[in-house]
Structure 1
Amino acid sequence: MRLFYCLLSGLLCCTQGLVAQIAQPGAELPAWKEGYLDMHHVNTGRGSTAFYVFPDGTTMLLDAGEMDIHDGRVFTPRNSVIVPNDSKKPYEWIASYIQRFHPKSKPVLDYALITHFHDDHFGAWYPEMPFHKKGGFGLTGITGVASLIPVKMLLDRGYPDYNYPVAKNRWLEQVGKNDTPYRRTMENYWRFIEFGVKNGMGAATLKAGSVNQVRLQYNREAYPQFRVRNLKANGLIWSGQDSLAVDHFPPAHPQLPATWPDENSMSLAILIEYGGFRYYTGGDNPGNLFYGNHHWRDVETPMARVTGKVDVATLDHHGNRDAVNEFQVKTLQPRVWIGQSWSADHPGHEVLVRMVSPHLYNGPRDLFATNMLEANRYVIGPLIDRSYKSQQGHILVRVLPGGSQYYVIILDDQREEAKVKAVFGPYDSLSK
């Protein structure tokens, strides 16, 4: 019996030591080291942003949300507030966060990926925004972040022609005809792209199915077990075989906007794999059909078929009611769900029920949110507190070298220092 307790005590000390190496509540986050995979889900209260540091130090920004400051909903209890505070603009807070946790003293983003063209994912034009002194474009979202931290390669869903689902001018004529701020947002983004490419930035459309478009840049040979699979771009979805992608959407008729896929359903999606660890993220892709929707608006189902089980999944469309469908939940079966939330719509009540239901998949699952509003608690009730491990803060997934284990670390989003609030794990990866 004494031997048993000695062994147990030793095991606990070893585990606590490992946790201490990863992070300690109240302390600064230990710096990324080569071999680790860090995935920061950054909270500014104004949209989605994720910053990844791959095992060899390659970096990637996925989205840079900055909502229109004149949008009436941002001043209501329906929406989160800017965090840490409103002394800086959201793009400045994003850049500040990247500079704090970037592995290099002079940060550069090897990749920036914009999942789709909504302001909470790439930034909104508004009259008062500052302007780039040389480029003639406004600084908001990705255009602002890139003005502070150089981007080597920008990936989106349309470069260079932006002719999907129909020709660029026809698309903009339709979606921008009664929405001057949106038209100006797109035109501002295109000016940024043009200036960036002229000054050495690369740009391309994400290639669905590819595992070679996003690659390690500094020590690829040391990490053959790491890869980024492009799952979806516009209507093209990876087939599950080699790099072949198939078109999920029927052709759009230029003169019939009802045949066009909406912006959310054209979102990009990727799968990150590191050893036995698997991570899914998919912008605002929808999966639940409402009255009048075409059946092909459900893009989650065909994506889930080829993705299979994952360790960590971010909520499509922040967990809104048109996403995170039953098939996706029971197919991906993540141990960890991450909600990049900023609205009382995140998550929908029925979405939360699906995520926690033991009838869709067995075993434990931990839920984390960047912002959980009081409005959600009023509507959904105690299920929120029973379901979530953390409801406020930056969410870091730190995968240990080799990919066999990972932690979820919550960082304080109320202070620029972003110290550790809580540590969860270690979790064993799927194929440990």
Structure 2
Amino acid sequence: MKKSTILIIGCLISFTLTAQDTGEPLPVWQEGEMEIHHIFTGGGESVFCIFPDGTTLLIDAGDIGPHIDPRQTKTSPNDSKQPGEWLARYITNRIDFKNNKKIDYAFLTHFHADHMGGVYENSEKTRNGGDYYLSGITEVYEHAPFSKIIDRDWPSYHYPNPNKTNAIDNYKKFLEWNNKNNKLTAENFIPGTNKQFVLVNSPEKYPGFEIRNIVSNGEVWTGKGEKTKQVFPKGEAVSENKRSCGIKISYGDFDYFNGGDLAGHLSFGMEAWKDIETPVGKALGIVEVCEANHHAWIDAMNENFLNSVKPQIIVMQINHITHFNLSTMNRMANKKLNPNLKHIIPTNIPEISRAYIGVDQLKKVTGDGGHVVIKVMPEGKQYFVCLLTTKDESYKIKSILGPYKCNKK
């Protein structure tokens, strides 16, 4: 396709979005676009991506279990289904254009329930014949299968110590059964490479697209070739959150970062090596959009990371009232640290958080919650942000932000 034709298509799509009345469904994906959906189910974190050639990637699929803690967000749009099934329904709606409805890649940033699911008293057994329960990632697969899954510790699940939780045992049974019976493949995440997540349909059309593996288990890309450096001292105990995997998705001039629950804001007296965000930020450089590390909790989004990455948009994935933290909010909103900032956008604002944060602090965020969709135009020179309703499955637009120009590389 000629460059002039691509530019014309981009202008037409841009007009459609800017002219789109709120209350209408999000326009369907078109080849050449990239979409990044931060999906709110109330049960944890999940991001679904459609790349320019139609390749698809699911990042995490959380399920924190029955709503028994008033500090947790409720299942959305309602509790008639579990979060994994709501995610699958969202995804299958969005990929209606595909003949093969399989998701190409699934990726777990780390092994916590709000990112992968667990095993609960209300968890049902799979109906496909395996001996495992449905929650989070396993429940998504039940309704919307994927071809490959990548995580930080396949196949042993022994690093740095044997992981013997019910959730991991269930996940291993899921992998084993579906590998044998449904040809599901699994891989260990490889820090530094740009060859693990690749376009599967028409890669030759989009030479400006890349996914770079930035970090996993404290091993951080140096920015040179595929070289990495281990940040954590050998033998030191490190939390699961800080072992999170992180990737940078690039399309033209547009860059996006998702690093699961990485953290780096240190309390007084903590060893400097426990700050994983600072070396990750240096490796990343400036991005247009960043999902807030560790849901913007008190231990994440430190000053060095924000000053290195300088995102225009920060998306907060919220499933607990503590994900609204005043000190973290002040860091993220500080334009001396990040002069590029345009919006901090939460997927949900719990009522208890509204009372705690207060009116003046709430002015630092944009919108009152929703599925947060980043829609990148062909060639990756500009993008929009769309907030969709979470009250039902209409996927209607609540508001449109942009278009925003990407930083030239």
TM-score, normalised by the number of residues in structure 1: 0.88
Shift in CA distance, 354/54, structure 1 to aligned 2, threshold 3 Å: same
Counterpart CA distance in 1 for 2:121 and 2:270 is 35
Q: 1:249 aligns with which of 227, 232, 251?
A: 232
Partners of 2:26 and 2:396 within 8 A in 1? yes
Please say which structure displays the higher CA radius of gyration.
1
The 5 A counterparts of 1:50-89 are: 50-69=47-66, 72-73=68-69, 76=70, 78-89=71-82
Please state if 1:144 is matched with 2:139.
yes
Please state if 1:160 is matched with 2:142.
no
Q: 1:211 aligns with which of 186, 194, 198?
A: 194
* Unaligned 5+ runs, structure 1: 1-13, 173-182, 253-258
Shift in CA distance, 86/301, structure 1 to aligned 2, threshold 3 Å: same
SS at match of 2:322: coil
1:189-241 Cα deviation digits (max 9, x unpaired): 11011112213111011100010000000000000000000001112110111
Q: CA RMSD in A?
A: 1.8
User: Hey, what does 2:346 align to over in structure 1?
Assistant: 369
Which letter does structure 2 place at the counterpart of 1:111?
Y
User: 1:19 Cα deviation (Å)?
Assistant: 4.3
Counterpart CA distance in 1 for 2:58 and 2:15 is 28
User: Hey, what does 1:11 align to over in structure 2?
Assistant: none
Counterpart CA distance in 2 for 1:417 and 1:349 is 33
The 5 A counterparts of 1:111-126 are: 111-126=105-120
Which letter does structure 2 place at the counterpart of 1:189?
Y
SS at match of 1:186: helix
Partners of 2:384 and 2:401 within 8 A in 1? yes
1:152-195 Cα deviation digits (max 9, x unpaired): 110001001122113x2xx43xxxxxxxxxx2111111101111
Q: Which moved more, 1:286-295 or 1:333-342?
A: 286-295
The 5 A counterparts of 1:370-409 are: 370-409=347-386
Q: Which moved more, 1:380-389 or 1:407-416?
A: 380-389
* Unaligned 5+ runs, structure 2: 1-10
1:44-93 Cα deviation digits (max 9, x unpaired): 011100000000000000000001227x42xx1x2211111111111110
SS at match of 1:390: coil
Counterpart CA distance in 1 for 2:92 and 2:339 is 40
Which letter does structure 1 place at the counterpart of 2:170?
N
Q: 1:289 aligns with which of 251, 255, 266?
A: 266
Counterpart CA distance in 2 for 1:366 and 1:41 is 15
Partners of 1:22 and 1:30 within 8 A in 2? no
Counterpart CA distance in 2 for 1:267 and 1:81 is 25
The 5 A counterparts of 1:84-103 are: 84-102=77-95, 103=97
Partners of 2:310 and 2:341 within 8 A in 1? no
Partners of 2:311 and 2:338 within 8 A in 1? no
Q: Which runs of 4+ in 1 moved over 3 A?
A: 14-17, 19-24, 291-294
Counterpart CA distance in 2 for 1:119 and 1:23 is 37
Counterpart CA distance in 2 for 1:271 and 1:224 is 16
The 5 A counterparts of 1:343-362 are: 343-362=320-339
1:329-353 Cα deviation digits (max 9, x unpaired): 1111111110011111113111110
How many residues matched? 396
User: 1:295 Cα deviation (Å)?
Assistant: 2.8
SS at match of 2:172: helix
